[in-house]
Amino acid sequence: MGARDPSLTIPARAVARPLCERDATAPAADAVWATIRREGVEAAERDALMAQPITAALLRHGTFADGLAARLGRKLGDADLGVFPLTALVAEVLADDPAIVQAAATDLVAVRDRDPAAADLVSPFLFFKGYLALQTHRVAHALWRRDRRHLARHLQSRGSEVFAVDIHPAARLGCGILLDHGTGIVIGETAVVEDDVSILQGVTLGGTGKECGDRHPKIRRGVLLGVGAKVLGNIEVGEGAKVGAGSIVLDQVAPHTTVVGVPARPVGAKLIDLPALTMDHSLPGPDYAI
């Protein structure tokens, strides 16, 4: 595996700031794409069987936007909306809103920097369904805001079928987000997920019943949601908080606080770093019960 491009490493000094505010240091989408293409060439040279798929997915495309549109089109195309019209639709959305392209590039660097299984950028771009599901949502959300809601729901449905991640098109997600593994993540219609959040498999951001209106959680910057955590209702999980694996959160979580259990309750001292960036899932001492 080739060495990481140091220009794409998030500086340690920036750990307490959201990726989307790091305009001067966040890598531009064209720089990310150049690195992906270089890594793709190296991968094809190591394994001849990968040459054709890497050429089709990466080397034929000059920009990050073109490559992402082609990747989502190939993954999501079906009998109802085929690969080519879907690729064209995604390309149209990305051309109309370049901020989605930059967010997708920022997400990709976040995956590479936080997930120990991602030794490069090309692997999550091609293969990680959490990353691809998140980009599917970004396109669906743009369509939802433009009142193309049946198209948005089509993408939601296909994303759920293909990636096992179900995000309502109206949910609002920031950037620098990691959906680790992705399988079984559910995010409801009025949920908000801010920048630099890390979400593990099996997490639900849901409602508590049949209430209408604003009914889903608000996950603030830098939160880490452990495997299988359930956060239910219109409640806030404060900046820099950590929710332990398997916890059920029914009440507000204060910033920089660890909660664990069923129902979840605070444990340990206040957190200093943003746990979503450190990916530290450890819990304090044996002073709690699940």
pLDDT over threshold 50, residue 14: no
What CA–CA distance (Å, rounded) separates 124 from 265? 34
For the cut 70, the answer to whether the pLDDT of residue 93 exceeds it is yes
What is the mean pLDDT of the segment spanning 247-264? Answer: 96
First vs last C-alpha separation in the chain: 41
pLDDT band at 16 (very low <50, low <70, confident <90, very high): very low
Identify the pLDDT of residue 132. Answer: 98
The predicted structure's pLDDT at residue 55: 94
* Spatial CA neighbour of 249 closest among 273, 270, 268, 225: 225
Classify the C-alpha dihedral 88-148-233-164 as positive or negative.
negative
The answer to whether residue 5 scores a pLDDT higher than 70 is no
Peptide bond connecting 263 to the previous residue in cis, omega within 30 degrees of 0: yes
CB atoms within 10 A of CB 78: 13
Domain ranges in the chain with CATH number 1.10.3130.10: 1-5+15-164
Q: What is the mean pLDDT of residues 48-75?
A: 95
Digit-coded pLDDT (tens) for 178-206 = 999 999 999 999 999 999 999 999 999 99
Report the distance separating Cα 269 and Cα 263, nearest Å.
Answer: 19
1 pLDDT higher than 70: no
Instruction: Kindly state the average pLDDT of the residues 257-267.
Output: 95
DSSP string, 101-169: HHHHHHHHHHHHHH-TT--SSHHHHHH-HHHHHHHHHHHHHHHHHTT-HHHHHHHHHHHHHHHSEEE-T
Topology, domain 1-5+15-164: serine acetyltransferase, domain 1 (1.10.3130)
Burial of 261: CB neighbours in 10 Å, binned 0-12, 13-18, 19+? middle
Residue 265's CB is within 10 A of a number of other CB atoms, namely 15
Looking at per-residue pLDDT, the higher value among 2 and 10 belongs to: 2
Q: Where residue 110 falls among pLDDT bands split at 50, 70, 90?
A: very high
Checking if the pLDDT of 276 tops 50, the result is yes
How many angstroms separate the CA atoms of 227 and 82, rounded?
34
* pLDDT tens digits, one per residue of 206-233: 999 888 899 999 999 999 999 999 999 9
pLDDT band for position 286 (50/70/90)? Answer: low
Residue 26 — pLDDT band, cuts 50, 70, 90? low
Contact by Cβ (8 Å): 100, 164: no
Q: So what's the architecture of 184-284 in CATH? A: 3 Solenoid (2.160)
pLDDT of residue 46: 94
| Per-residue confidence band for 9, with pLDDT thresholds at 50, 70 and 90 | very low
CA distance 142 to 262: 36
- CATH 2.160.10.10 positions along the chain are 184-284
Does position 146 have pLDDT exceeding 60, yes or no?
yes
